Each structure stands twice: as C-alpha cells, then as structure tokens.
Amino acid sequence: MDSDKARICVLYDIYGELLPASVSDFIDLYYNNDLSLSEIAENTDISRQGVRAGLVRGCKLLNEYENKLGLYEKYKDNNDTVSKIKSEILSLDLEDDKKDKIIGLIGKLVY
C-alpha cells in the first residue's frame, strides 16, 4: 500500500462520518475494499467518471478536514511519542513483568 493510499485510509477512518454518504461509499469501496473504478461504477449504476469525480471530491474533503483539524498529525505525533516512551521503558533496569505492565498501560493511551 503506497503512503498516499494509506494516508487516505487513515483520514477516512478519522473523518469518514463527515463525508456525504455517496462519497463515503466510493472511498470505502475504492480504498478499503480495493475495488476498481469500473467495479464501483457497475455496482452503483454510476459512470466510471462519476465514481472518479466522487473519489476526487472525497479525498479533497478529507484533506480539507485534516488541514483544519489536524487529528491525523496529532495521531502520528502521539504514536511516535508512545514508541519512544516504550523504548525508554525497555532500556530501564526493571523486571520484565513490570516493564510489560507499564507498556500495557501506555498502550491504552494511544487509542
């Protein structure tokens, strides 16, 4: 999965409920279910060009939401911070069960 596709998938997970239903369906079918434009068009009785226009519109909206709210960037920053904390904990001179307990508690903060 290329990084742009992965980014759209995460943006859809975060902001998908804000999209119009038809656009949301196109994004879900194309990015999450890996259907082609032709397959989506056939399944929805919309032209291939109409599906493509819906996808372009949906991606634009997702990017606009991210530009305004920044939740994806915050999510990435939080994950990076949690990874660094876990790495620091693993380097401490503690018993393994204590390390595991602390890392487990930190894992609950991520989501």
3-state SS of the chain is CCHHHHHHHHHHHHHHHHCCHHHHHHHHHHHHCCCCHHHHHHHHCCCHHHHHHHHHHHHHHHHHHHHHHCHHHHHHHHHHHHHHHHHHHHHCCCCHHHHHHHHHHHHHHHC
**Co-location of 29 and 58 in the same domain:** yes
Does the structure show a pLDDT above 90 at 75? no
Average pLDDT over residues 73-100: 90
Residues 88 and 103 in one domain: yes
pLDDT higher than 80, residue 111: no
52 and 95 part of one domain: no
Pair 60, 92 in one domain: no
**Is 59 found in the same domain as 8?**
yes
Show the domain range for 54: 3-69
Q: Mark whether 61 and 96 lie in a shared domain.
A: no
Assess whether 56 and 100 both reside in one domain: no
Q: Give the pTM.
A: 0.77
| 19-67 per-position pLDDT tens digit | 999 899 999 999 999 999 999 999 999 999 999 999 999 999 999 999 9
Is 13 in the same domain as 38? yes
